[in-house]
């Protein structure tokens, strides 16, 4: 199924199911720049027959494809397929693709949770293929790199879970904090709500305003808790509150934990992430900004302590559409296909 490009190199054939949302178009943009893959087909039921660059003019000159109706026969001709679809879609098609030898990365939540009962509780429908939940590898490379390399099905993490878990991993894996008391105060840009028409995300509804949502329970809560408990090997008492802020891209997570022993957090974080290409531990006392990771696959972290307090404060920033979605998916693809992990992911954030 490899195709040869004009320069004589073999390219891996890639399919994208659901290419019309913000995550989908970001995935297409990054794949179009990737030197070792060929975008073979992009599906959309609502836009079938429309040129991709007519819907997204930023892709003019980079993507010469039309949206197609989803067709499993066509998808089976790909080497790897991404699902950038609403929750509940991928799980109805993935088993047949896996049986055909196609590798899959799901950017929705269909395979993130290991419990079918928990999934049904939070997503309001029974899981279509619960037998695949145990096999699916949670695609956080900084935690599961080797498992991702050998996987045929990767569950790409959510945006909030990525920022929170990367901010807490060094502390949990080294058992340095009290896992019963973890607070994640997290803010997201409006693109995290998706591209669909919604009064709550109109310009006049979000500009010059700031609000919490999902305070009584957000779908990312069980995903975050599951990941943290795997890292630390103990139950985690998690308080997670997301907020909507009037910007397009970006997630900022302010995390509060209580150390259970004396240690140098800066040294712990720098040692833990010293070999990680997409985690930047900033100098002590820094204040990471979302604009410094815009369009990049980076997570930037900084550590703080306040006078007369035992709390450790971790600040974590990512671009919700890149490290929180499409970029991390391509990082996972690179691992699954044996490419350099950073292939196609070398962007530097623009300023201002």
Which residues are within 8 A (CB) of 245 and not within 5 positions of it... i.e. 6 or more apart?
187, 188, 189, 190, 210
Report the percentage of the chain scoring pLDDT > 90.
92
- Residue 157 and residue 108: Cα distance in Å, rounded? 8
> Locate tokens 């790897």: which residue?
80
Domain ranges of the chain: 3-135, 160-320
Quote the tokens at residue 179: 């896992």
Mean pLDDT of 214-231: 97
Please state at what angle helix 327-337 crosses helix 22-32, rounded to 10 degrees. 50
pLDDT tens string 44-90: 999 999 999 999 999 999 999 999 999 999 999 999 999 999 999 99
Quote the tokens at residue 174: 């080294």
pLDDT tens string 269-315: 999 999 999 999 999 999 999 999 999 999 999 999 999 999 999 99
pTM listed for this prediction? 0.95
Mean pLDDT of 94-98: 98
Mean pLDDT of 133-137: 98
Average pLDDT, the chain: 95
Q: Are 320 and 294 in contact (CB under 8 A)?
A: no
Identify the architecture of domain 3-135 in CATH.
3-Layer(aba) Sandwich (3.40)
Mean pLDDT of 115-123: 97
Q: Are 164 and 317 in contact (CB under 8 A)?
A: no
Q: Are 140 and 112 in contact (CB under 8 A)?
A: no
Which residues are within 8 A (CB) of 56 and not within 5 positions of it... i.e. 6 or more apart?
25, 28
Helix, strand, or coil here: 166?
helix
Nearest 10 degrees: CA dihedral of 320, 30, 277, 244?
-10
pLDDT for residue 197? 77
pLDDT for residue 9? 56
pLDDT for residue 178? 96
Helix, strand, or coil here: 343?
coil
- Residue 321 and residue 308: Cα distance in Å, rounded? 38
pLDDT for residue 112? 98
Q: Is 260 a catalytic residue?
A: no
pLDDT tens string 165-214: 999 999 999 999 999 999 999 999 999 988 887 888 888 889 999 999 99
pLDDT at 1 over 50: no
Which residue, 89, 97, 11, is CA-closest to 44?
A: 89
Backbone angles phi, psi at 192, to 5 degrees: -65, -20
Catalytic residue chosen out of the listed positions 129, 159, 260, 299 = 159
> Locate tokens 């993507």: which residue?
63
C-alpha distances (whole Å) from 49 to each of 45, 55, 250 are 9, 11, 32
For residue 254, what are the β-bridge partners?
A: 185, 315
pLDDT for residue 203? 86
pLDDT for residue 4? 46
Which residues are within 8 A (CB) of 48 and not within 5 positions of it... i.e. 6 or more apart?
66, 67, 68, 69
Q: Are 301 and 292 in contact (CB under 8 A)?
A: no
Q: What does DSSP assign to residue 327?
A: H
- Residue 127 and residue 300: Cα distance in Å, rounded? 35
Q: Are 227 and 162 in contact (CB under 8 A)?
A: no
Which residue, 328, 11, 303, is CA-closest to 154?
A: 328
pLDDT for residue 116? 98
> Locate tokens 């010059």: which residue?
208
Identify the architecture of domain 160-320 in CATH.
2-Layer Sandwich (3.30)
Nearest 10 degrees: CA dihedral of 332, 338, 341, 345?
-80
Report the percentage of the chain scoring pLDDT > 70.
97
């Amino acid at each position: 199924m490899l195709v040869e490009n004009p320069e004589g190199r073999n390219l891996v054939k890639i399919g994208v199911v659901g290419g019309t949302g913000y995550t989908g178009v970001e995935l297409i943009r990054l794949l179009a720049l990737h030197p070792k893959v060929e975008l073979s087909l992009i599906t959309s039921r609502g836009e079938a027959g429309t040129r991709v660059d007519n819907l997204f003019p930023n892709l003019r000159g980079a993507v010469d494809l039309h949206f197609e109706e989803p067709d499993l026969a066509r998808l089976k001709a790909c080497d790897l397929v991404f699902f950038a679809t609403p929750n509940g879609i991928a799980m109805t098609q993935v088993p047949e693709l896996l049986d055909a030898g196609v590798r899959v990365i799901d950017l929705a939540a269909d395979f993130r949770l290991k419990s079918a009962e928990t999934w049904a509780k939070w997503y309001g429908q029974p899981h279509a293929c619960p037998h695949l939940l145990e096999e699916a590898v949670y695609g956080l490379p900084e935690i599961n790199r080797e498992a991702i390399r050998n996987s045929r099905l990767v569950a790409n993490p959510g945006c909030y879970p990525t920022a929170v878990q990367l901010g807490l991993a060094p502390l949990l894996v080294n058992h340095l904090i009290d896992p019963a008391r973890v607070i994640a105060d997290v803010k997201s840009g409006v693109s995290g709500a998706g591209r669909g028409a919604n009064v709550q995300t109109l310009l006049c509804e979000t500009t010059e305003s700031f609000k919490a949502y999902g305070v009584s329970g957000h779908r990312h809560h069980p995903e975050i808790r599951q990941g943290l408990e795997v890292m630390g090997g103990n139950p985690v008492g998690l308080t997670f509150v997301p907020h909507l802020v009037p910007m397009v891209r970006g997630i900022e997570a302010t995390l509060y934990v209580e150390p259970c022993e004396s240690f140098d957090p800066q040294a712990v974080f720098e040692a833990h992430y010293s070999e990680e290409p997409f985690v930047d531990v900033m100098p002590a006392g820094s204040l990471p900004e979302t604009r410094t990771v815009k369009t990049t696959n980076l997570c930037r972290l900084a550590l703080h302590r306040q006078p007369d307090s035992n709390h450790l404060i971790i600040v974590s920033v990512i671009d919700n559409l890149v490290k929180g979605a499409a970029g991390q998916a391509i990082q996972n693809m690179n691992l699954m296909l044996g490419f350099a992990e950073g292939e196609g992911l070398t962007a530097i954030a623009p300023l201002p």
